[in-house]
Amino acid sequence: MRKLIALTVFIAVMAAGAASAAPEYTIKVGSIVSETHADMLAMNKIFKPQVEELSKGKIKVELYPNAQLGGDRELCEGVQMGTIQMALPASSALAGFDKRVQVLDLPYLFTSRKTAFEALDGILGNKLNQYLLSKGFVVLGYQENGMRHVTNSKRPIKSPADLKGLKIRTMENPMHIAFFKELGANPTPMSWGELYTALQQGTVDAQENPYAMIVDGKFYEVQKYVSETGHVFSVTMLIANKKFMDKLPPDLREIIVKASHDFAVEQRKTIAGMENGFKNECIKAGMQVNPLTPEEKKPFVEATKKVYGQFEKDLGKEIMDIARKVQK
């Protein structure tokens, strides 16, 4: 009988301990990228363990890569509605919620990581954070996928004339669409999840993405040429639902903010270190890479200056003035 009572007490104590250790909050983080992308590598290395350990188990972090929770648009909608707590979309996807975010897609706004992050961690990023906060998003950091380049199955792209008539997949972003129309291409908005099959079946001839995403999407299997146009610095953002963040106790909110900052630092370092490897992987898979000299890029820059004028009214003087100030 004593043994039975002791066993019963032990089980009750263990159950109580397990109950007390149960997380008070769960953060679902959605992304379209795979587990091997820098986003997920840094999430697993920095954000998830840091948040769970420093919160002493009060917060559980669940990662959902590979578009398990939807494409970038769906992820943003989920965060805004609060059905998921956090996501890692491309900045372009957030332009559908506040058109001023399109400023990040102005062609040739940034020509290097250094100048991009000086602006994103400073005056430009701070202003965008204010805009998105009113839409229900808390921006916890800016990351990158790298410079966007054009891939296609027809020919190398050395001048705007080479893009004429080319069916190119773009994100559902008016800035990207306008940009490629100015270059003479036929832009076709399409979700990430549909892209590989569309390239494989010839529904579209081309797409534009950084090397990280070309490899992540395995587009080297269905595309022949990579032309290093470097037309847009591809920004990703770690966003959270505002109501979720507001209801957290200050100490837990501080843990998430700190972990987000450390995650961004790690993600940037990781993807920068991986970029040459991504390019080599494309070459090894049989893709033909053609760099563009500064002289060859000039016609692209000139041809897209009209885009700035087209979107001046939509984006507003405030953000365009900041864009011109940080443009390098």
What's the whole-number mean pLDDT along residues 114-142?
97
Distant-in-sequence, close-in-space partners of 304: CB < 8 Å, separation ≥ 6: 107, 108, 179, 182, 183, 231
Stronger pLDDT, 137 or 18, i.e. the higher one: 137
Is beta strand 137-147 parallel, antiparallel or unpaired with respect to 233-241? antiparallel
Q: 146-201, pLDDT tens digit by residue?
A: 999 999 999 999 999 999 999 999 987 788 899 999 999 999 999 888 999 999 99
First to last CA, the chain: 80
Mean pLDDT, rounded, for 298-320: 89
Q: CA 229 to CA 299: how far, in whole Å?
A: 11
Q: How confident is the model at residue 16 (pLDDT cuts 50, 70, 90)?
A: very low
Average pLDDT, the chain: 92
Per-residue pLDDT, 172 = 79
Once rounded to an integer, what is the mean pLDDT over residues 218-247? 97
**Is the confidence at residue 77, as pLDDT, over 70?**
yes
The per-residue pLDDT for 175 is: 84
141 in Cβ contact with 257 (< 8 Å): no
Maximum average pLDDT range among 13-27, 81-95, 294-308: 81-95
Whether the predicted pLDDT of 131 surpasses 60: yes
Q: Are strands 288-291 and 225-228 parallel, antiparallel or unpaired?
A: parallel
Q: Are 93 and 76 in contact (CB under 8 A)?
A: yes
What is the percent of the chain where pLDDT is above 70?
A: 94
User: Residue for token digits 């769970």?
Assistant: 52
Instruction: Say which residues have a Cβ less than 8 Å from residue 48's Cβ, sequence separation at least 6.
Output: 61, 63
**Would the CA dihedral through 174, 219, 116, 71 be positive or negative?**
positive
The tokens of 131 are what? 């805009």
pLDDT at 88 over 90: yes
The domains located in the chain, with CATH, are 2-326 (3.40.190.170)
Average pLDDT over residues 133-155: 96
Query: What gap in Å lies between CA 3 and CA 300, rounded to an integer?
Result: 82
Pairing of strands 86-87, 167-170: unpaired
Statement: residue 14 has pLDDT above 90: no
Q: Which of 93, 148, 147, 91 is nearest to 120 (CA)?
A: 91
Q: Mean pLDDT over residues 228-256, rounded?
A: 97
Query: Are residues 206 and 151 in contact, defined by beta-carbon separation less than 8 angstroms?
Result: yes
Please tell me the distance from the alpha carbon of residue 306 to that of residue 66, in angstroms, as a whole number: 36
Contact 28, 62 (CB under 8 A): yes
